[in-house]
Structure 1
């Protein structure tokens, strides 16, 4: 290196050092008070960033799976309630009171709309996911 300094008096020591050692790469460090690895490549390594992104994706997936499970449980509950209402309606089908018939029909329609809402939310969840 001293020979190159004598041959190239106008070049700085850093330029000569780069000619001897090579440019900065991820596997080399500088000497003295020059730039260091963090100045060239940043504070986080690619591996750390990849692990952080992977962990975030795992947590998002876990939340999505929990939401899907909750929606499935809600849909099963609505389905069970609809079956019970249908059985009650069949058992009371011969009642003469028109108000009770209207109430049972209204309740059945309400349950059907509830099922439709749950299915729609379930579909929107998977479209978003």
Structure 2
């Protein structure tokens, strides 16, 4: 389990955009992943909420981590996100899990929470299909 988590952290460290926004892998185990980002002013939009692109990034990457935990090297084939309320807080946490998986793809869901004063508030839900990476294309 520790080897999987260490591997996951090395993958995140190799993603320049993840480093730019300060993403941190906090959980990576078979069928589950969690990624968090501390909220900064430069991640917000004009109304003071965390920008939807940051929320979407968290969902997308966390979905792929969950799927990759059962498939190995993976990429997102598709995903859909619903923003359910503004992302306001000190930190955002995405929590993803595998719903179903086969040899080459996994369907996963993700919930993104804003943390404020130690309370979690749901800000987005997402579902996606994660595919085993095809290194020949």
Same fold (TM over 0.5): no
Bigger relative contact order (CA 8 A; separation at least 6):
2
If each structure's strand is expressed as a fraction of its own residues, which one has the higher value?
2
TM-score, normalised to structure 1, is 0.28
TM-score, normalised to structure 2, is 0.27
Decide which structure has the larger Cα Rg and report it. 1
If each structure's helix is expressed as a fraction of its own residues, which one has the higher value?
1
